[in-house]
């Protein structure tokens, strides 16, 4: 199909190329143009030609074998020519784990997935990988039905906020600049030429003039106020922990309400590629995971209340009452606190765009192996940064710690400082702050400033691990919910001192695992003191809390 988005196959094995071409033409020939070439046909030149001809490439499929080891190298360059093309490495099917270079290529964001060349015809496993990549690509590259059309000034803060809100909550929408011809036509057609921008035009013609988040949510039928009934469980926060609690609570017959002020998925929703979550061998976008979990909770009957954050929690007899921002109250028999943390971010725009492709927040363990022989940097001077540096040094050529203060002793345990000092490939740069960075497909360089001299320096860098702390979102909780010195909610046996619960604890029994110092209020995920800051552990705790709530509600735990 000339003019259609391109599926480009590069393989030196003509027979394999023919099979791949046949399979792609059969399934996708009506909507995509399939182009097949060998490595001798100058694939980079072809990519440049397609770019110059303004052709969109949806997937580049490059073959790799012992005799043709440069498929990964080609895929690593694809984004130089097309920033949105997906990259699929084709290998000869074999049993066992994929070779190290493939793992490294995935970790560095040089390929999106790998698959065996079609071994049978049809090969549904091969097609599953291709269609998953096409689906990911199509989300931002093909027209989608628009539930909402937003017309506003391109650089208006509120227009940006609305776009961010809709995309984080996966609402299909289109944005039209008020100065553009389609933007003007939309305003005219809606009779809104004098309306205050931004204007949101709904699929059924309703017009919202400079709407609040609550008005937008209401317009698409999302509730923003809780019901007046007594729920079994109120879940506060729709990150992975809260969504898991909602799925398990609702699926096990508990009337469940979940409150979320910003967007489903929490921090995980901001991750473009979660690679260590069970069951997703090529990774899953946080957005995808969040939508799946939200739909699952919804299907089981959980109620979702958007845009109304919890502002307080109190006990009223056997009930737990959560107050929300608009003054309403949620009455429930038990509460799951899943409000997570905000990771402190560097806030440097050029590095924000490289998150997940060289810039990592708190994720040193899973990425370390792929840093083999590379130049990596760690920002932070506390224990978490020290541990990350030591772990990374086992793989990387050199690890440079960038520490704002003039000494590690102020913030790091002595044993870690000793280990860092004794590790030859760790260097510590004090008084150093990152001020910028760049890279085409992934991080390539960092700009570092010496705070004493003011001198800046740009250095090559393959990865930057940022460990500058996280702040729990617990300011809204009452004093009778005990927190550690960083503000995380203390639970279970950690509440016991000398075999006794805190003085405010009103029951004979000790607090259960995950239960806070307020009976019936459980804390799960990142907000909990001592928790592992990971999606899987947050999901695990969210589901375990429901098991404990069954015990609590049965009455034998009052
Ligand atoms: C960029 C990035 C990438 C990551 N990548 C990975 C990864 O690859 N693998 C991995 O395992 N982990 C990863 N993590 C960590 C992982 O996302 C977290 O461990 C996980 O999201 C914690 O889930 P949670 O539900 O406990 O908290 P959160 O995800 O923080 O969710 C808390 C939710 O509560 C809501 N909330 C806050 N205050 C209130 C209130 N007052 N009322 C109601 N709701 C409220 C928030 O809006 C938020 O939606 C990543 C984190 C980040 C930031």
What would the two tokens of residue 5 be? 């988005």
How many angstroms is it from 285 CA to the middle of ligand 1? 14
Task: Using the atom order of ligand 1, give the atom closest to the CA of residue 473.
Answer: 38
**pLDDT tens sequence across 123-137:** 999 999 999 999 888
Q: Are 407 and 496 in contact (CB under 8 A)?
A: no
Name the maximum alpha-carbon separation found in the chain.
Answer: 78
Rounded to an integer, what is the distance from CA 371 to the centroid of its chain? Answer: 21
- Which pLDDT band holds residue 332 (cuts at 50, 70, 90)? very high
Checking phi first, is residue 109 left (phi over 0); if not, alpha (psi -120 to 50) or beta? left
**pLDDT at 340 (0 to 100):** 96
Q: What is the pTM of this model?
A: 0.78
Q: Is the CB of 241 under 6 A from ligand 1?
A: yes
Q: Are 538 and 247 in contact (CB under 8 A)?
A: no
How many angstroms is it from 525 CA to the middle of ligand 1? 8
Q: Is the CB of 341 under 6 A from ligand 1?
A: yes
How many angstroms is it from 372 CA to the middle of ligand 1? 29
Checking phi first, is residue 469 left (phi over 0); if not, alpha (psi -120 to 50) or beta? left
**Sign of CA pseudo-dihedral 393, 395, 398, 403:** negative
- Give the CB-side neighbour count of residue 244, counting CA atoms within 13 A: 24
Q: Which of 267, 310, 463 to mutate to test the pocket of ligand 1 (most atoms within 8 A of CB)?
A: 267
**pLDDT at 142 (0 to 100):** 85
How many angstroms is it from 74 CA to the middle of ligand 1? 35
pLDDT, the chain, mean = 90
What 3-state class would DSSP assign to 338? coil
Q: Is the CB of 305 under 6 A from ligand 1?
A: no
Q: Is the CB of 386 under 6 A from ligand 1?
A: no
Which helix or strand (DSSP H or E) is residue 236 part of? strand 230-236
How many angstroms is it from 526 CA to the middle of ligand 1? 7
Q: Which of 338, 337, 332 is nearest to 317 (CA)?
A: 332
Task: Using the atom order of ligand 1, give the atom closest to the CA of residue 355.
Answer: 1
> Is residue 319's pLDDT more than 60?
yes
- Give the CB-side neighbour count of residue 29, counting CA atoms within 13 A: 9
How many angstroms is it from 268 CA to the middle of ligand 1? 5
- Which pLDDT band holds residue 363 (cuts at 50, 70, 90)? low
Q: Which of 259, 269, 271 to mutate to test the pocket of ligand 1 (most atoms within 8 A of CB)?
A: 271
What 3-state class would DSSP assign to 66? coil
Give bridge partners of residue 305 from the DSSP assignment: 259
**pLDDT at 489 (0 to 100):** 98
What would the two tokens of residue 96 be? 């066992």
**pLDDT at 493 (0 to 100):** 96
**pLDDT at 67 (0 to 100):** 62
The rounded percent of the chain whose pLDDT value lies above 70 is 94
**pLDDT tens sequence across 194-252:** 999 999 999 999 999 999 988 999 998 889 999 899 999 999 999 999 999 999 999 99
């Amino acid at each position: 199909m000339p003019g259609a988005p391109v599926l480009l196959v590069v393989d030196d094995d003509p027979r394999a190329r023919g099979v791949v071409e046949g399979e792609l033409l059969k399934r996708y020939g009506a909507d995509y143009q399939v182009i097949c070439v060998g490595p001798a046909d100058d694939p980079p030149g072809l990519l440049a030609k397609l770019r110059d001809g303004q052709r969109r490439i949806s997937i580049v499929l490059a073959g790799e074998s012992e005799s043709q080891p440069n498929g990964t190298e080609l895929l690593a360059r694809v984004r130089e020519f097309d920033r949105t093309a997906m990259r699929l490495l084709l290998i000869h099917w074999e049993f066992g784990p994929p070779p190290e270079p493939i793992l490294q290529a995935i970790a560095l964001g040089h390929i999106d997935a790998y698959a065996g060349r079609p071994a049978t015809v049809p090969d549904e496993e091969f097609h599953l990988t291709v269609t998953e990549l096409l689906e990911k690509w199509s989300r931002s590259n093909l027209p989608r039905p628009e539930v909402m059309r937003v017309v506003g000034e391109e650089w208006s803060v509120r227009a940006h906020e609305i776009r961010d809100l809709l995309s984080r909550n996966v609402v299909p929408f289109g944005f039209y600049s008020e100065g553009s011809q389609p933007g003007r036509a939309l305003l005219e057609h809606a009779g809104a030429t004098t309306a205050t921008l931004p204007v949101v035009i709904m699929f059924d013609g309703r017009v919202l003039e400079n709407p609040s988040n609550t008005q937008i949510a209401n317009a698409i039928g999302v509730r923003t106020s809780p019901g007046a009934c007594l729920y079994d469980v109120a879940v506060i926060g729709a990150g992975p922990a809260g969504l898991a609690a909602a799925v398990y609570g609702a699926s096990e017959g508990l009337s469940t309400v979940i409150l979320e002020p910003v967007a489903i998925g929490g921090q995980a929703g901001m991750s473009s590629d979660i690679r260590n979550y069970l069951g997703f061998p090529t990774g899953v976008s946080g957005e995808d995971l969040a939508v799946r979990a939200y739909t699952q909770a919804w299907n089981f009957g959980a109620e979702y209340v958007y845009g109304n954050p919890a502002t307080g929690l109190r006990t009223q007899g056997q009930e737990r009452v959560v107050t929300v921002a608009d003054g309403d109250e949620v009455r429930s028999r038990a509460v799951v606190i899943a409000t997570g943390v905000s990771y402190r971010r560097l806030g440097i725009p050029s590095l924000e765009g490289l998150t997940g492709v060289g810039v990592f927040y708190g994720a040193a363990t899973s990425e370390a192996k792929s840093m083999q022989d590379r130049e990596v940097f760690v920002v932070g001077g506390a224990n978490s940064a020290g541990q990350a540096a030591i772990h990374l040094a086992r793989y990387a050529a050199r690890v440079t710690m960038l520490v704002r203060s003039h000494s590690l002793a102020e913030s790091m345990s002595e044993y870690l400082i000793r280990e860092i000092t004794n590790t030859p490939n760790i260097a510590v740069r004090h008084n150093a702050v990152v001020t910028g960075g760049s890279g085409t497909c992934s991080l390539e360089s960092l700009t570092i400033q010496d705070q004493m001299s003011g001198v800046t320096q740009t250095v090559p860098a393959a990865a930057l691990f940022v460990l500058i702390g996280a702040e729990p979102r617990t300011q809204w909780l009452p004093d009778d919910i005990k927190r550690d010195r960083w503000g995380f909610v203390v639970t279970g046996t950690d509440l016991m001192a000398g075999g006794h619960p805190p003085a405010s604890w009103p029951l004979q029994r000790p607090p259960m695992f995950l239960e806070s110092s307020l009976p019936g209020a459980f804390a799960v995920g990142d907000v909990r003191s001592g928790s592992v800051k990971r999606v899987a552990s947050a999901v695990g705790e969210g589901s375990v809390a429901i098991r404990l709530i069954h015990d609590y509600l049965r009455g034998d735990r009052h």
